[in-house]
Structure 1
Amino acid sequence: MKNVLLYCRPGFEKDCAGEITELASTHGFYGYVRMQPKQGFVVFVMEKADAGESLIDALSFSDLIFARQIIAVNDEISMGSGGRVEALLDAAKQLPLAQDLWIETADTNEGKGLAGLIKKLDKPLRQGWKKASLLRTKAVGIRHHLFLVSGELAYLGVSNAKCRSEFPLGIRRLRFPSNAPSRSTLKLEEAMHEFVPAKKWPVLLREGMTAVDLGAAPGGWTYQLVERGMRVTAIDNGPMGELLMATGLVDHQKADGFKFQPPRQVDWLVCDMVEKPQMVTELMAKWLSQGWTRRSIFNLKLPMKKRFQEVSTCLALLKNSLDKAGRQYEIQAKHLYHDREEITVCVICH
């Protein structure tokens, strides 16, 4: 397969395209992007017959900020209106064996309109795949993806476990906790799942830790920390949720988030302030470089244009600051499902 298909939030196609073009070039892959505004996916087109598989083998999913999913594909398949299953099975015979088959669409209104077709195709396709011996339990880590563009056009491809999301459409869906003070709580919950491996939660997100939440009110992010038994200093001039304050784990201080300094090092700093991304980045870099916190999760509110360039600038600024301070660190960044015009960054210092 010579191309890669990447799912993204509708409206962020240019950012996803810029990112994959830059990442691919660093690994010696060159091509061009096919995309349309607000279609929810982009296709990076290359020339070599196996370039798509080679590229996803070279990448890790954590390298990707704006992509929700990445799969190796060839060009679009015309399914016709009467022989869809046969056309797809014929194309699938060119794929390596896989453990499973996922049928997906873009996260758009047009994609949602294909739900009925997916339901109609699901059973006969899975039966056809099994009959053709395309699915094998020993095909560890390989998954087939059928991505419907419309009722007549689709992409068929593969992903590997090293470089993909494990959620349909690349979307981690979470349930809003009814006692949380705002829906922003889902941003931090998703970030914790995305950036902190479950096996490390008992060490990195344990009861008794200390945290600071800058721009905390009304407490959506503080809620996630308190739920894990952390003691939180919430910095904001606005009011905090009454239920949060009743836990006894929150110290609400009405202060300027850009001027506040903790009396001692904390385990976590979180921040979801509506400020210019470079200002927030500089503030986070200060906390981490000075050793005021060992770890941080924060959001960067992005401009309407050149968002990938702004993200690149901010991450370079952050790395430069930490390097100058001699810190050892890991940085991850992702445009999460519960984010909108923003990305979430996680930094863990050692």
Structure 2
Amino acid sequence: MKNILAYCRPGFEKDCAAELAQVSSEKGFYGYAKVVPDAGYVIFCFDQTEEIEGLIKQLDFNRLIFARQIIAINDLVDLEPGARVESLLEAARQLPLAEEVWVETADTNDAKALSGLIKKLDKPLRLGWKKSGVLRNKAVGVRHHVFLLDGENAYLGVSYAACRSEFPMGIRRLRFPAAGPSRSTLKLEEAFLQFIPEQKRATDLVEGMWAVDLGAAPGGWAYQFVKRNIHVIAVDNGPMQKALMSTGLVEHEKADGFKFEPPYTVDWLVCDMVERPIMVAELMAKWLANRWTHRAIFNLKLPMKKRYQEVMLCLELIENHLKKAGVAYHYQAKHLYHDREEITICIIAQ
């Protein structure tokens, strides 16, 4: 495989490309990005002839910030009218064997018009893959992706379990809870699911823990703790949802989130304040360096330009503070589906 195709939120193509350029060069792979504004994907072309699958397997998906999905591809496949499956199958014979095949598009309004074609192609494509022997149960962890651009063109690629999303189009779709105080609750729910492995949730999100929510009102993020019977100190001058307060699990502190200090070390700190990202990064670093919390999940509201560069500045600031304080930590960062002009970062102090 020669190139990489990364799905992203429309409008974030340049940021996704900048990140791919940096992480690939750090691994010794160099190339250039093909970016179409608001397309919802990026093609990164490499100068080397080495197999790009090797690069993908070296990456940590939860530390690829702007990529929703990442696959290795070759050239664009022309789809013959009336023989689309056959065109794709011919190209698939050049790929490694896979255990499954997905048909996808970009997350754009134009691409939504292809939903009918996807339904039409899905069953015959899977049958064709099976009959041809391209799909094999022994090809564990390998998946083929058909990424439709339109009815005449598609990219055919490969993803590996070592570094990919396990959701179609890289989108984890969640249902808004009826009792949720605001739709922002889905951000924290997605963050928990993305950053905390299922086997760790029994130790990292435990009944009886204590959390602090900075900028809590009306309680969208606090709700995610309350439904797990975790106590919350909700810090905000604004009002909290009455139903949330009636649970007895929430203490409302009417205070400035930048000035509040906890009375004791808490298990979790969360923050979704609309402030400059560097200010939020400074605040999070302060909490972790002072060991006021063991874990933190927070959003950085990004500027309109050079968003990836801004994220790197924030992460560097946090690293410098925690290194100086002697705090070892592990972080993950992601532009989640339920985020908008922001990214979510999870830091676990060790």
Judge same fold: TM > 0.5, yes or no.
yes
**Structure 1 equivalent of residue 194 of structure 2:** 194
Count of matched residue positions in the alignment of Structure 1 and Structure 2: 350
Which residue of structure 1 lines up, in the alignment, with residue 103 of structure 2?
Answer: 103
Question: What residue number does 1:170 align with?
Answer: 170
Residue identity in the other structure for 2:140: V
- Structure 1 residue 82: deviation in Å? 2.3
Cα deviation per residue 1:141-192 (whole Å; 9 max; x = unaligned)? 0000000011111000100000100000000011100001100000000000
Matched, 1:68 2:68: yes
Tell me if the contact between 1:2 and 1:74 (Cα under 8 Å) persists in the aligned partners.
yes
Contact 2:214–2:257, Cα closer than 8 Å, also in 1: yes
Q: 1:256: which partner in 2?
A: 256
AA aligned opposite 1:97: L
Q: Offset of 1:111 from its aligned partner?
A: 1.1
| 8 Å Cα contact 1:172-1:190 kept in structure 2 | yes
Partner of 2:319: 319
Letter matched to residue 60 of structure 1 = D
Report what 2:79 is aligned to: 79
**C-alpha deviations, 1:110-166, integer Å up to 9, x for none?**
111101111111111111111110001110100000000111110001000001000
The answer to whether 1:306 aligns with 2:275 is no
Alignment check: 8 A CA contact 1:29 1:51 kept: no
Q: Secondary structure at the match of 2:20?
A: helix
SS class of match (1:4): strand
Describe the superposition over 1:226-273 as per-residue Cα deviations: whole angstroms up to 9, x where unpaired.
Answer: 111111110001000000000001000110110000111010000000
Task: Tell me the distance in 2 between the aligned counterparts of 1:253 and 1:334.
Answer: 29
Give 2:142's aligned residue. Answer: 142
Residues 1-350 of structure 1 aligned to structure 2 (within 5 Å): 1-350=1-350
Structure 1 residue 50 displacement after superposition: 4.1
SS state at 2:270 partner:
strand
CA contact (8 A) 2:30 2:48 kept: no
Distance 1:300 1:149 in 2: 31
Measure, in 1, the Cα distance between the counterparts of 2:223 and 2:342.
Answer: 20
TM-score between the two structures when normalised by the length of structure 2: 0.99
| CA–CA separation in structure 2 for the residues paired with 1:49 and 1:90 | 22
Aligned residue type for 2:74? N
Code of the residue aligned with 1:240 in structure 2: it is M
Contact 2:29 2:48 in 1 (8 A): no
Whether the 8 Å CA contact 2:212–2:232 is kept in 1: the answer is yes
CA distance, structure 2, for counterparts of residue 58 and residue 275 of structure 1: 34
Q: Secondary structure in 1 aligned to 2:266?
A: coil
Give SS of 2:52's match: helix
Greater mean alpha carbon deviation, residues 133-142 or residues 49-58: 49-58
Cα distance in 2 for partners of 1:117, 1:134 equals: 22
SS of match in other structure, 2:14 = helix
**Would the aligned equivalents of 1:213 and 1:222 in 2 still touch at CA under 8 Å?**
yes
| C-alpha separation in 1, matches of 2:236 and 2:47 | 53
- 1:126 corresponds to which letter in structure 2? R
Deviation at 1:57, TM superposition (A): 1.9
In angstroms, what is the RMSD of aligned CA positions? 0.8
What SS does the aligned partner of 1:106 have?
coil
| Secondary structure of 2:193 counterpart | helix
- Structure 2: segments with no counterpart, 5+ residues: none
Q: Unpaired runs of 5+ in structure 1?
A: none
How much has 1:71 moved relative to structure 2? 0.3
Distance 1:158 1:47 in 2: 19
Identical-pair percentage? 66
Q: Tell me, yes or no, if the aligned pair for 2:77 and 2:156 is still in contact at 8 Å.
A: yes
Letter in 2 for 1:339: D
Q: Specify the SS of the correspondent of 1:14.
A: helix
